[in-house]
Amino acid sequence: MTVSDRSKQSRKIDFFGFLVERFPLDKMNIKHMLEHKEVPVHKMSWGYYTGGLTMFFFMIQVVTGLFLLFYYQPTVSDANLSVEYITKYVSAGALIRNMHAWSASGMILSAVVHLITAFAMKSFEKPRELTWILGVVLLVITFTFGFTGYLLPWNQIAVNATKVGLQSVEDVGQYLPGLLHDVPRILRETFQGEASVGQSTLGRFYALHVVLLPLALVLLLAGHLLQVQLHGMSEGVDMKAAKTERFFPVFLFKDLTLWGVFFFILFTLSICIPFESFLPYPLLAPYDALGATPAGIKPEWYFFFVYYPLELLPFWVIILLSGMVGAILVLTPWIFAGTSRKVLGFIASLVSVYLIVMTVFGEQIYHLLKH
């Protein structure tokens, strides 16, 4: 056997060992994943509930989305009118639509908090690498839900914002080498479907939003939850927790209780405060190809962390930074393998401060630096 053959055989053994450790067959049973599972109790234990809360908001999205499907018409001529009809004339239509909008924001916020707390608690360390990577992909899908759903009401702001977003995707190509140069253009043409944002775009965004993305999320979420159940909750702190509690029924009961509390909050918000009341423009104004883009428009709040830097910095800087952040997120289990939770907590705090500042004060910072 040559040195090359030995090297190939060694790599095969290492890969097989990696899979066996991440998918231990002896732990794939109810007794291990439910009856014997213990959850550490410590000062960061609240972080364990953020993942379940994200799943709760996704379930609300699915249920309310199904109700909206009964009346929504995915055509450029009827989309806006159907949304208006749901809001004004369908029994509880405004409530369902508000719950869908509020829970979308709740899902994205919970997913971001879940990722940050998982990072701070070092929930990515061996053998939980796949749990982390699947979580990162799920977060990307969650943001994509927000982008595709934004177009569906087919109003002036949604169509113009989608045009800008798709053009930004194509603009990335000028900074990519070789054959990669054409990939962003192909992606933009694929999702747009025609020369300009129109019926093909709406149809494709609709298919993505209500079929493809939910299917992808459910499949990846199943893998994510399987990994969590197989390997249990991470310790979360550097010192081993002095106390634990049973996952079933103690932790699960607390999780469901939290869901009940947030359902009450969501239901109350949806009845009392229409989601549109926070928007500085008439959301129900239908798209007019000859009309002017409304002044002062901006994306949903969960894109502010990248929107305001885009307004302030050269596009290539944002592309470079985004690529670096994406690579770091995927490679986190290996980059930060030897990092203490104290340092990880400090990094997570800095990221949290940046996200909060850009979300709450991004507009003020933009005007301060531009004028």
Instruction: Convert the pLDDT of each residue in 19-43 to its tens digit.
Output: 778 888 777 788 777 778 899 999 9
The answer to whether 37 and 255 have CB atoms below 8 angstroms apart is: no
* Total domain count, the chain: 1
Question: Residue 37: what pLDDT?
Answer: 87
Domain encompassing residue 176: 44-300
Tell me, yes or no, whether 359 lies in a domain.
Answer: no
Average the pLDDT over 301-305 and give the result.
94
Question: Residue 327: what pLDDT?
Answer: 97
Residue 72 predicted with pLDDT over 80:
yes
Distance, CA of 196 to CA of 13 (rounded, Å): 51
Tell me, yes or no, whether 367 lies in a domain.
Answer: no
Q: Phi and psi of 305, rounded to 5°?
A: -65, -20
Tell me the pTM: 0.92
Tell me, yes or no, whether 36 lies in a domain.
Answer: no
Tell me, yes or no, whether 72 lies in a domain.
Answer: yes
Instruction: Convert the pLDDT of each residue in 327-365 to its tens digit.
Output: 999 999 999 999 999 999 999 999 999 999 999 999 999
Question: Residue 13: what pLDDT?
Answer: 56
Tell me, yes or no, whether 77 lies in a domain.
Answer: yes
Question: Residue 279: what pLDDT?
Answer: 63
Residue 94 predicted with pLDDT over 70:
yes
CATH number where 124 lies: 1.20.810.10
Question: What H or E segment, with its residue span, contains residue 243?
Answer: strand 243-246
Tell me, yes or no, whether 193 lies in a domain.
Answer: yes
Tell me, yes or no, whether 264 lies in a domain.
Answer: yes
Give SS3 for 89. Answer: coil
Q: Identify the CA nearest to 130 among candidates 330, 322, 339, 325.
A: 330
Residues composing the chain: 371
Please give the radius of gyration of the chain, using alpha carbons only, rounded to the nearest integer.
Answer: 23
Tell me, yes or no, whether 344 lies in a domain.
Answer: no
Residue 323 predicted with pLDDT over 60:
yes
Average the pLDDT over 294-311 and give the result.
87
Residue 15 predicted with pLDDT over 90:
no
The answer to whether 48 and 233 have CB atoms below 8 angstroms apart is: yes
For residue 136, with 0-12 CB atoms within 10 Å meaning exposed, 13-18 middle and 19 or more buried, which class applies?
middle
